[in-house]
Amino acid sequence: MTILGIETTCDETALAIISDDRIVDEVTISQILKHAPYGGVVPDLGAREHLNNLTKFGGEFLTRNNVKLDAIAVASKIGLPPAVQVGEAYANGLANALKVPLIPINHVIAHTWGVFVDPVFTEKPQFPFLALIVSGGHTQILKLTSPIEHEILGTTIDDAIGEAFDKVAHMLGLPYPGGPAVEKAAEKGARLSKPFPIPLKGEDTMNFSFSGLKTAVRVYIEKNMPKEEQYKPYFVADACAEFQRSAFAQINERVAKAIEQTGIQTLVVGGGVAANQSLINALATLYLEKGWDTEKLFVPNIKYCTDNAAVIASYALAVTKEKSKQKFKNRNFIRSS
Ligand code: KG4
Ligand code: ZN
């Protein structure tokens, strides 16, 4: 089965073709430079860029890959509404013209498919597994029993972790997107004498919260930002390192709870913040401390952490296969005597 995936939920316009679990071709056009002057994603500007990109590169991509498509999958519902709608309209038009089914895909769950699509992983995670989705719009721990059955064990009660990274970066005068800028600055950071609080620490929950941490960073900046320019980079580095330490301590606490409660050690990490090496180091340290099997911790290549179309197409393929497997299982076999 050959599926075209389309992703336009935020600031990446992406197309990918998957054929029988193999990436045939993929293209991702980043809009970062267009949004950077505004310090964040401007939804209407994003929608216009998606339209331009799809018109310009979509046709080129399809001509270059002259293959028969069996379905069109599109990242749907979750994302910035004007941006999502452009992808949906384009995918719908294409599906109608080619007379193939249109498969709307929940892009948050699709983030789990980064490791499935990443050719580096020859051994794929086995069901049931846990998924940690850490993106600009979501922070969730899920339990997946199949590609079409999942349970949300925990979710953020306020800001998403990526959003917190972006806001902290903005407060510290770092460029958009904030995540990579905070990670880079944190590399040179030292410990603060008074660490930022770890939100929901010790509470009996699998939910997340980042707004209190964001406020703690804001108050710290207001009280302590040095006046002298030459000291500012040190101040920023320390604040970034401490912010990451607190945010990742919270993630580790929730992950530990989820693994201990479910008895499932297989954890798949996805979403833009999974690109952060300190987060992955923190998770690996947790696995080592707890004596868990680090082979069961799956983190895709950075390219498959952030928004991309290969995960959309690959997840659509997995959903289609699972649905037909279940339909076959539930079929009544009638024999004529
Ligand atoms: O999954 P994604 O590409 O888009 C959404 O679905 O939101 O995630 C984007 C988010 C942004 O908030 C960005 O700042 C964050 O991922 N991000 C990072 C890193 N790279 C991207 N956060 C922390 N460290 C990074 N290296
Ligand atoms: Zn995403």
Q: Which ligand is in closest contact with the Cα of 32?
A: 1
Output the pLDDT for position 21: 84
User: Is the CB of residue 274 less than 8 Å from the CB of residue 139?
Assistant: no
Kindly report the pTM of this predicted structure.
Answer: 0.94
Residue to mutate, 84, 108, 165, ligand 1, most ligand atoms under 8 Å from C-beta: 165
Kindly tell me if the per-residue pLDDT of 310 is higher than 70.
Answer: yes
pLDDT in tens, 134-153: 999 999 999 999 999 999 99
User: What confidence score (pLDDT) does residue 333 get?
Assistant: 67
pLDDT at res. 336: 65
- 138 backbone dihedrals φ, ψ, rounded to 5°: -140, 150
Residue 55 is predicted with a pLDDT of 94
pLDDT one-digit tens code per residue, 67-96: 999 999 999 988 899 999 999 999 999 999
Ligand 1 binding pocket, CB closer than 6 Å = 10, 135-137, 162, 165-166, 177-180, 183, 271-273, 275-276, 306-307
Q: Ligand 2: distance of its center to the CA of 79 in Å?
A: 8
The pLDDT score that the predictor gives to residue 337 is 62
Contacts of 74 (CB under 8 A, 6+ apart): 5, 6, 7, 87, 88, 90, 91, 92, 102, 103, 104, 105, 312
* pLDDT tens per residue across span 213-255: 999 999 999 999 999 999 999 999 999 999 999 999 999 999 9
Ligand 1 atom having least distance to the Cα of 108? 6
